[in-house]
Amino acid sequence: MNLKVSWMFLLFVLLITGCNSEAKAYKFGAVLPLTGNNAFYGEYAKAGIDLAVEDINNNGGINGRLLEMLYEDVGTDQTKAASSTKKLIDIDSVDALFTITTPPAAVMVSLAEESNTPFIYGSSTSSLAVGKKYTFNDYPSMADNCELLMSAASGVHGKVAFFGTNAEFTQLCKEGIERVGTLNLFEMYTPGDTDFRVQFTKIKSSESTALILLAFAGDCDHAFKQMQELGISLPVYTPLALITCGSQERIDKYSDMLKGGFGTDLAFNPEDEKYVEFKRRLGERGRTTEIQGSAIAYDSVMEMADSYKDCKDTDCVVDNLRKLTEYDGLLGTIGYNGKQTVERQLRVIKFKDRGWKSV
Indicate if the pLDDT at residue 1 is higher than 70: no
240-243 long-range contacts, Cβ below 8 Å, gap at least 24? 240/124, 240/140, 240/142, 240/145, 240/264, 240/265, 241/265, 241/349, 241/351, 241/356, 242/290, 242/292, 242/293, 242/356, 243/41, 243/44, 243/217, 243/290, 243/292, 243/293
Instruction: Return the amino acid letter for 326.
Output: E
The answer on pLDDT for 243 being more than 90 is no
Q: Which are the contacts of 224, defined by CB distance < 8 A and separation ≥ 6?
A: 245, 250, 253, 254, 257
Nearest-5° Cα angle at 19, 16 to 20? 85
Rounded to an integer, the average pLDDT of 138-152 is 93
Closest C-alpha among 196, 217, 170, 189 to residue 38: 217
CB 334 within 8 A of CB 325: no
- pTM of the predicted protein model: 0.83
Q: Which residue has the higher pLDDT, 276 or 358?
A: 276
Predicted pLDDT of residue 184: 97
Beta bridge partners of 189: 165
pLDDT for 77: 82
Q: What is the pLDDT of residue 171?
A: 95
Task: Give the mean pLDDT of the chain.
Answer: 92
The CATH class, in words, for 25-140+271-343 is alpha beta
Most confident of 49-53, 138-142, 331-335, 342-346: 49-53
Listing from the earlier edge strand, what are the strands of the sheet with 210-214?
185-189, 160-165, 210-214, 236-238, 262-266, 346-352, 355-358
Average pLDDT over residues 239-249: 91
Q: For 178-234, what is each residue's pLDDT tens digit?
A: 999 999 999 999 998 999 999 999 999 999 999 999 998 889 999 999 999 999 999
- The sign of the CA dihedral 290, 293, 294, 295 is positive
- The pLDDT confidence band at residue 154, using thresholds 50, 70 and 90, is confident
| pLDDT at site 186 | 98
Closest among 153, 140, 146, 143 to 236, alpha carbons compared: 153
**Yes or no: domain 142-239 corresponds to CATH 3.60.15.10:** no
Distances (CA, A) of 11 to 1, 15, 58, 65: 15, 6, 28, 21
CB-CB contact of 140 with 344 (8 Å): yes
Kindly tell me if the per-residue pLDDT of 102 is higher than 80: yes
Whole-angstrom Cα distance, residue 104 to residue 124? 13
Return the percentage of the chain with pLDDT > 90, whole number.
77
Q: Which residues contact 5 (CB under 8 A, 6 or more apart)?
A: none
What is residue 11's predicted lDDT score, i.e. its pLDDT? 45
Where is pLDDT greater, at 218 or 273? 273
How confident is the model at residue 124, as a pLDDT?
84
- Has residue 359 got a pLDDT over 90? no
At residue 76 the predicted structure's pLDDT band, cuts being 50, 70 and 90, is: confident
- The pLDDT score that the predictor gives to residue 79 is 86
For residue 286, pLDDT beyond 70: yes
Higher pLDDT, 130 or 158: 130
Q: How far apart are CA 325 and CA 201, in angstroms?
A: 47
CATH 3.40.50.2300 in the chain is located at 25-140+271-343, 142-239
Question: Residue 301 and residue 81: Cα distance in Å, rounded?
Answer: 19
Q: Render pLDDT for 10-27 as a digit per residue (tens, 0 to 9).
A: 444 444 444 444 548 999
pLDDT digits (tens, 9 = 90+) for 114-141: 999 999 999 988 899 999 999 999 998 8
SS3 label, residue 225: helix
Which pLDDT band holds residue 40 (cuts at 50, 70, 90)? confident
Radius of gyration of the chain (CA): 23
More confidently predicted of 290 and 207: 207
For residue 281, what pLDDT is reported? 97
Task: List residues bridging with 73 in a β-sheet.
Answer: 32
Residue type, 70: L
